């Protein structure tokens, strides 16, 4: 009997440890969110969003970074979404060795360090253009977003029943029409979710922008000129010795995390609704 009790005791202790470690690992999340709210929320007001940075010791607002982030995300979307969707279709439609290899390669691309992508954008765009630019940063972010678009397209289209296509073929539609009028519209919500999550991810990227978009304290809409972005501004302000700049960095962090979380929550809620419809 003693042995059985020992086994049960071991099991209980193990269960306790699992629960304990699980709950302990959630603590950093709350610690980070707490400090963002505590330090960031106080800085934020309307002026914070609609003014430009000021020289130290003042801090000013983050309008330049908001515009820059928008511009970078726009360029990245143009670069990655069309080719990503088509490549995702290719992976669904093709069953051969090349498709399998491509699938692995896309996962590898997703795992590449973002700083390496930054070097590539520097070599491919910054050097030939002769200077830092929003375009080069957008292309770097686009390369990072590409695997997410491809994978969400593939995953979504795979789930669409083949009978839907057969119905379309039976009506005399050709392959092109079937894909664009039947298959893609049926899967658009899933693809859109993937794109939104991709945007949430790249909007927070800093490393590939350090030597591409570079940062810019002035308002700029020109893709051929450097722009600032929220994460770049956070990095530069956080490493600065000025207290007001650091406070502005907390405010900008709060804005960035709110943006990322809103997209995540929106996708979760929206995804559930769409899935029921499908």
Partner 1 sequence: MLRDRFFKFGLKLAGGLIALLIFSIFVSLVIASIPSIKEFGLSFVFGKEWNPVEEHFSALPFIIGTLLTSVLALAISLPFSLAIAFFSGEFSKKGLISSLIAYATDLLAGIPSVIYGFWGLFFLVPLIRKLELSFNIPPYGVGIFTASLVLSIMIIPYASSMARDVIALVPSDLKEAGFALGSTRLEVIKKVIFPYSVSGIFAGLLLAFGRAIGETMAVTMVIGNANRIPHSLFEPANTLASVIANEFTEATSDIHLSSLIYLGLILFIITFFINYIGNMIIERMSVNGRS
Applying the rule CB under 8 A, the residues between 35 and 54 that interact with partner 1 are 35-36
The DSSP bridge partners found for residue 214 are: 227
Among 1, 2, 21, 277, binds partner 1 (CB under 8 A): 21
Is 176 a binding residue for partner 1 by CB under 8 A? The answer is: yes
Closest distance of CB 75 from partner 1, Å: 16
Residues belonging to the chain: 278
Task: Candidates 206, 216, 226, 228: give the one binding partner 1 (CB under 8 A).
Answer: 206
- CA distance from start to end of the chain: 56
The minimum distance between CB 13 and partner 1, in angstroms, equals 8
Could you say which residues in the range 132-151 bind partner 1, by CB under 8 A?
143, 146, 150
**In the range 210-269, which residues lie near partner 1 by CB under 8 A?**
210-211, 214, 231, 234-235, 238-239, 246, 249-250, 253, 256-257, 260-261, 264
Which residue, 7 or 50, is less far from partner 1 as judged by CB?
A: 7
Among 105, 164, 188, 219, binds partner 1 (CB under 8 A): 105
Q: Is the dihedral of CA 270, 272, 273, 274 positive or negative?
A: positive
- If the CB atoms of residues 182 and 200 are measured against partner 1, the closer one turns out to be 200
Nearer to partner 1, 71 or 149 (CB): 149
Looking up tokens 């000025």 gives: 242
In degrees and rounded to multiples of 5, residue 260 shows phi and psi of -65, -45
Q: Which of 108, 167, 171, 188 binds partner 1 (CB under 8 A)?
A: 108
Contact call for residues 165 and 182 (beta carbons, < 8 A):
yes
50, 77, 66, 45: which is closest to 216 by C-alpha?
Answer: 66
Residue 117, SS3 per DSSP: helix
Q: Which two tokens stand for residue 152?
A: 């969400």
Residues 6+ apart with CB under 8 A from 265: none
Shortest separation between residue 143's beta carbon and partner 1, angstroms: 7
Phi/psi at 116 (5° precision): -65, -40
Question: For partner 1, which is the closer residue by CB, 115 or 186?
Answer: 115
The yes or no reply on residue 74 touching partner 1 (CB under 8 A) is no
Backbone angles phi, psi at 60, to 5 degrees: 75, -160
Residue closer to partner 1, measured from CB, 4 or 46? 4
CA distance 32 to 27: 9
- Which CB sits closer to partner 1, 52 or 173? 173
H-state helical runs in 126-171: 127-129, 134-159, 162-170
Q: Using CB under 8 A, which of 1, 3, 5, 24 touches partner 1?
A: 24
Minimal distance, residue 29 CB to partner 1, in Å: 5
């Amino acid at each position: 009997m003693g042995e059985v009790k020992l086994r049960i005791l071991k099991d209980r202790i193990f269960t306790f440890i699992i629960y304990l470690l699980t709950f302990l690992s959630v603590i950093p999340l709350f610690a980070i969110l707490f400090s963002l709210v505590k330090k960031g929320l106080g800085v934020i007001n309307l002026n914070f969003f609609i003014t430009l940075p000021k020289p130290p010791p003042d801090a000013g607002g983050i309008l330049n970074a908001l515009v820059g982030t928008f511009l970078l995300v726009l360029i990245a979307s143009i670069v990655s979404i069309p080719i990503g969707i088509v490549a995702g279709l290719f992976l669904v439609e093709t069953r051969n060795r090349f498709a399998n290899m491509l699938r692995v390669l896309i996962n590898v691309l997703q795992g590449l360090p973002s700083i390496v992508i930054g070097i590539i954008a520097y070599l491919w765009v910054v050097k030939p253009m002769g200077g830092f630019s929003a375009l080069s940063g957008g292309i770097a972010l686009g390369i990072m977003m590409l695997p997410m678009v491809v994978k969400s397209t593939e995953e979504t289209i795979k789930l669409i029943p083949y009978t839907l296509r057969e119905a379309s073929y039976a009506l005399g539609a050709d392959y092109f029409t079937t894909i664009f009028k039947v298959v893609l519209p049926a899967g658009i919500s899933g693809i859109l979710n993937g794109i939104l999550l991709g945007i949430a991810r790249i909007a927070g990227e800093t490393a590939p922008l350090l030597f591409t978009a570079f940062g810019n304290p002035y308002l700029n809409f020109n893709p051929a000129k450097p722009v600032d972005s929220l994460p770049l501004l956070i990095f530069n302000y956080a490493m600065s010795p000025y207290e007001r700049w650091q406070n502005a960095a907390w405010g900008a962090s709060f804005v960035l995390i709110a943006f990322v979380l809103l997209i995540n929550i929106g996708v979760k809620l929206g995804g559930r609704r769409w899935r029921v419809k499908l």
